[in-house]
Amino acid sequence: MKVVITGAAGQIAYSLIPFLCEKGIFNSNEKLDLNLVEIPQAMGRLDGFVKELEDSAYSTVSSISTFDNIENAVVDADWCLLVGSIPRGIVLNGKEIKERSDLLQINGGIFTEQGKAIGAHAKEHCKILVVGNPANTNALIGYKSAGKATQLWMAMTMLDALRAKAQLSQKLGCHVDDIYRLAIFGNHSPTMFPDLENTIVAGKKAYQEIDDHDWVENDFLPKIQQRGAEIIKARGASSASSAARAACDTVKAVEHPTRSGDVFNAAVMSDGAYGMPKGIFSGFPLISDGKGSVEIVRDYSLSDFAKKGLEKTANELVEERDLVKDLI
């Protein structure tokens, strides 16, 4: 089982790789070949981390290799976790990258190259999870550049779903495991729409249990949409441990059958489901059969309030797509 991780010397990967090496994440008992990818300037830091991984003596791991280019790293890959990207605020060639359009163009270049390499060299049924932001549109660029319909491209919305579950469990005094069918629609950005109208908690409709639309609209939604910014303000750095947990949970969710009556969350290519425009990567409720097939769950009913939320996040995704149209 060959697993490629980019951005491997970064803060998310520092938590993510140990999580992935725990038993039971992958469906197969094959041992893992970890191919860790970084930019040339970060290879020294990556070597230090590799020493720590070696010292952890994971029984699940067969080999650990490092790469400063994507082409060689993805040969015969089963999974590619694309975590590395250029963050907003970085200074490149004397210019601070502040605008979303600049960020999309720069990361677009990275994901074009990575997509091409994955399409050409990774396994036919390789699964790809894009974590690096702007994750949905990076996934779109990667998917288009790969040009291989048999490969499964996803962008991460699991962290948003976990955040929403945590807030709901606090509100209703239930355990997170009692929450079913919580869905994140749209972009991994402040326009995302976390839906509670179809959520079930311990067999009951969550919305009726909450019985407070004002809390949903004015408390819950902004909290989930702004949670990333809240963490950056408090920590002085973006979410890392929770993002790593979410990435690992996404791999596990694809690798194993979804529990009966539940869904998991990731953004996949829209085929028009729930009125989301075709040809963008949007968060949807999904199910996996644990054998490589992932499908959108299509029986959610959406109120006018939810439809408005979906429209807003869809518009943003279309705008992002238009900003990178020369790359796709």
Binding site for ligand NAX (CB under 6 A): 6-7, 9-13, 37-39, 42, 83-87, 110, 131-133, 135, 156, 159, 188, 238-240, 243
For ligand NAX, the closer of residues 201 and 323 by Cβ is 323
Distance CA 180, CA 264 (A): 9
Beta carbons within 8 Å of 303's beta carbon, 6+ residues apart: 197
At its nearest, how many Å lie between ligand NAX and the CB of residue 4? 10
For ligand NAX, the closer of residues 58 and 111 by Cβ is 111
Distance CA 322, CA 17 (A): 34
Q: Which two tokens stand for residue 113?
A: 């190259």
At its nearest, how many Å lie between ligand NAX and the CB of residue 57? 24
Q: Strand 32-37 vs strand 2-6: parallel, antiparallel, or unpaired? A: parallel
Query: In this structure, which amino acid lies at residue 191?
Result: T
For ligand NAX, the closer of residues 130 and 196 by Cβ is 130
Beta carbons within 8 Å of 26's beta carbon, 6+ residues apart: 1, 32, 251, 255
At its nearest, how many Å lie between ligand NAX and the CB of residue 137? 12
Query: In this structure, which amino acid lies at residue 73?
Result: A
Q: Which CA distances in Å does 98 have to 90, 92, 106, 227, 233?
A: 8, 11, 12, 20, 17
At its nearest, how many Å lie between ligand NAX and the CB of residue 37? 5
For ligand NAX, the closer of residues 157 and 209 by Cβ is 157
At its nearest, how many Å lie between ligand NAX and the CB of residue 5? 9
For ligand NAX, the closer of residues 160 and 255 by Cβ is 160
Of 54, 77, 75, residue with least CA distance to 64: 54
Catalytic residue, candidates 121, 125, 175, 188: 188
125 a catalytic residue: no
Nearest residue to ligand NAX, scored by beta-carbon proximity:
10
185-224 CB burial, b ≥16 within 10 A, e <16:
bbbbbebbbbbbbbbbbeeeebbebbeeeeebeeebbeeb
DSSP label at residue 194: E
Distance CA 104, CA 54 (A): 36
Question: In a 10 Å sphere around its CB, with 0-12 CB exposed, 13-18 middle and 19+ buried, how is residue 102 labelled?
Answer: middle
At its nearest, how many Å lie between ligand NAX and the CB of residue 9? 4
Of 75, 8, 61, residue with least CA distance to 37: 8
For ligand NAX, the closer of residues 38 and 255 by Cβ is 38
Distance CA 154, CA 136 (A): 8
At its nearest, how many Å lie between ligand NAX and the CB of residue 82? 8
For ligand NAX, the closer of residues 38 and 78 by Cβ is 38
Question: Among all residues, which ones are annotated catalytic?
Answer: 188
